[in-house]
Amino acid sequence: MDTGSKKNIEQRRMNRIVADHSNSISLHDRYGNILLNFQGIKVGNLVGLNVEDLVHEYNWSPSQKAAQTRAPVVGVVSTKYSGKQLVCANPILDEHGEVSVVVVTAVDKTLVDRYEALIECGAPPDENYRLTVKYLSESDYTDRTIVAESPQMRRVTATAETVAKTDSTVLLTGASGTGKEVVARFIHGHSRRASGGFIPVNCAAIPQELMESEFFGYVQGAFTGANPRGREGLFELADHGTLFLDEIGDLPLNMQSKLLRVLETGEVTRLGDVAARRVDVRLIAATNRDLKEMIRQKLFRSDLYFRLNVIPLSLPNLCERPDDILPLAYSILNELNDKYGLDKRFTAQAKEAFFNYSWPGNVRELRNVIERLVVTSEGEDLYIESGYFRENDVSQGADKPFSAPLSPPDKLRDVLARVEADCIRAAMDTCGNRVAKAAKLLGIHRSVLYRKLQALGDANGEQPS
């Protein structure tokens, strides 16, 4: 076969790949002109047209909205050609922060619906489904690495890299915002399970009545409202991967005993089933609470604690690792500059302010402060406004955040109920009575907050808004 024939065959093969792949990809300029189009979803050649020329074919244009807002836009578009598509329009900004081009990808919505149906019906996941779970479980953490310039964090990283080669259970402890999930993902990524899924679970966010079904799954007819085909739980979903249980100290006692059994036997039993299923899961737990004190108060099982505490790893507060403050700050700044196409930089004044602040919110607070500076500052030089940290330091009144008078005749449950009610009202006021936002602030599921608001409304003869 001559060279020309080989080239023709390769060209036809490439044309077939471009024409038949499941996604369509196109490039638009800031004015909506279509510069390039690979039509995986069956559409005609659109190069040279403007999105406004296609208003009779598409019900709306994510590309136009992305160019106007200079932010990624995702949504469902109805088309004349192929029904509904799930479209993502991502603007690429130039050095001046202006839209250079918009990258538009589209996939047939039936593919998305298929995975959604698999999740809803609890069908045994195929390999594509597991790959999808793995991809989603890594979102927003793919490029995040551990910054370890300080001796404290170097020791943490070295230990994490060593234990990653084993299947030993790891207990991460440290204050909120110190990066426990980042370390957990680091351990998973350096382990032999890296090709499996990393399933993060916030134990405080799952309503207590749903915990057993969420962790272990359920069979057909297990309870009223259950999916007719049953559903696998988090342990089965994490099979051959890593299950990360954050806020393990908020796990109720009845679930602690069930978790202990799974750790000891390597088997889970779905709710309503009698047959046990083997699972191969590496467990990493994390907490910002004092589990030993909870054991003394009979709020945490000692046998579960010793089963979890095989490899203890304590993360220091940011104020205890000052050598990491600037490297972390620059890492976050570079990430945000790349994300928004900017070229912001810290001033000497900002860097000094970073060193002089105690960072009660740790790395999470540092990230929030820098993102606020990047997004709100008009110029490229970033300054810290006078009094900024003093005004935003919520720890200053942490010793008495709510007024709950305590006197000897009061029963403990009455005092706790008053404190909880004050806390809920303060959170609702802070969040403008938005339940979802208040629930996130309080660290509970919004369904739990709805019930508590309902109870408060009944007690006061009112209905929660």
Nearest to 357 by CA among 392, 398, 400: 392
Residues 376, 280: one domain? no
Residues 247, 149: one domain? yes
Q: Is residue 402 part of a domain?
A: no
Instruction: Residue 421: give the domain boundaries.
Output: 412-459
Q: Is residue 403 part of a domain?
A: no
Return the bridge partners of 276, or none. 269
- Alpha helices in 164-238, H assignment, sequence order: 180-189, 211-216, 234-237
As a whole number of angstroms, the distance between CA 58 and CA 66 comes to 16
The distance from CA 384 to its chain's CA centroid, rounded to whole angstroms, is 28
Contact in structure between 81 and 108 (CB atoms under 8 Å): no
As a whole number of angstroms, the distance between CA 206 and CA 208 comes to 6
Residues 277, 195: one domain? yes
Q: Final residue of a domain: which of 113, 144, 172?
A: 113
Q: Is residue 407 part of a domain?
A: no
Contact in structure between 160 and 183 (CB atoms under 8 Å): yes
Residues 100, 158: one domain? no
**Cα dihedral: 121, 127, 129, 134 (round 10):** 130
Nearest to 178 by CA among 313, 317, 286, 312: 317
Residues 304, 343: one domain? no
Residues 337, 290: one domain? no
> Tell me, what amino acid is at 305?
Y
At residue 326, the pLDDT reads 94
Task: Please report, rounded to a whole number, the percentage of residues in the chain having pLDDT higher than 70.
Answer: 74
Residues 12, 66: one domain? yes
Contact in structure between 200 and 246 (CB atoms under 8 Å): yes
Left, alpha or beta for 70 (phi > 0: left; psi -120 to 50: alpha)?
left
Q: What is the pLDDT of residues 51-69, one digit of tens each?
A: 776 666 677 788 888 888 7
Contact in structure between 328 and 147 (CB atoms under 8 Å): yes
At residue 52, the pLDDT reads 74
Residues 133, 164: one domain? yes
CATH code (residue 425): 1.10.10
At residue 143, the pLDDT reads 43
Q: What is the pLDDT of residues 134-165, one digit of tens each?
A: 544 554 444 457 888 999 999 999 999 999 99
Tally of domains within the chain: 4
As a whole number of angstroms, the distance between CA 160 and CA 154 comes to 10
Nearest to 179 by CA among 292, 294, 314: 314
Position 178 pLDDT exceeds 80 = yes
Q: Helix (H, G, I), strand (E, B), or coil: what is residue 219?
A: coil
What mean pLDDT do residues 64-88 have? 76
Contact in structure between 419 and 402 (CB atoms under 8 Å): yes
Average pLDDT, the chain: 79
Return the bridge partners of 311, or none. 170
Q: Is residue 208 part of a domain?
A: yes
Q: Is residue 401 part of a domain?
A: no
Contact in structure between 32 and 65 (CB atoms under 8 Å): no
As a whole number of angstroms, the distance between CA 89 and CA 71 comes to 9
At residue 168, the pLDDT reads 95
What is the pTM (predicted TM-score) of this model? 0.59
Q: Is residue 31 part of a domain?
A: yes
Return the bridge partners of 79, or none. 58, 83
Q: What is the pLDDT of residues 360-380, one digit of tens each?
A: 999 999 999 999 999 888 889
Position 171 pLDDT exceeds 50 = yes
Query: What six digits make up the tokens of 44?
Result: 């005609």
Length of the chain: 465
As a whole number of angstroms, the distance between CA 288 and CA 180 comes to 9
> Tell me, what amino acid is at 36?
L
Return the bridge partners of 283, or none. 243
- Alpha helices in 166-250, H assignment, sequence order: 180-189, 211-216, 234-237
Pairing, β 99-108 against β 83-93: antiparallel
* Residue bearing tokens 């790395």: 363
Q: Is residue 444 part of a domain?
A: yes
CATH code (residue 96): 3.30.450.20
**Cα dihedral: 37, 43, 46, 50 (round 10):** -110
**Strand ranges inside 361-412, DSSP E:** 381-382
Q: What is the pLDDT of residues 191-232, one digit of tens each?
A: 999 888 889 999 988 888 888 988 998 887 777 666 667 788
Q: Torsions phi, psi of 251, nearest 5?
A: -75, 125
Q: How confident is the model at residue 22 (pLDDT cuts 50, 70, 90)?
A: low
Left, alpha or beta for 367 (phi > 0: left; psi -120 to 50: alpha)?
alpha
Q: Is residue 405 part of a domain?
A: no
Ranges 235-244, 279-288, 297-306, 453-462: which has the least confidence: 453-462
Residues 17, 59: one domain? yes
Residues 288, 345: one domain? no
Q: Torsions phi, psi of 105, nearest 5?
A: -120, 145
Residues 204, 127: one domain? yes
Residues 29, 130: one domain? no
Position 461 pLDDT exceeds 50 = no
Q: Helix (H, G, I), strand (E, B), or coil: what is residue 108?
A: strand
Contact in structure between 229 and 166 (CB atoms under 8 Å): no
Nearest to 188 by CA among 142, 129, 226: 142
**Residue 380 vs residue 4, higher pLDDT:** 380
Q: Final residue of a domain: which of 113, 147, 179?
A: 113
Return the bridge partners of 246, or none. 202
Nearest to 203 by CA among 117, 322, 289: 289
Position 129 pLDDT exceeds 60 = no
Q: Final residue of a domain: which of 345, 369, 396?
A: 396
Residue 176 neighbours by CB under 8 Å, 6+ apart: 288, 361, 362, 364
CATH code (residue 366): 1.10.8.60
CATH code (residue 286): 3.40.50.300
Nearest to 275 by CA among 218, 327, 225: 218
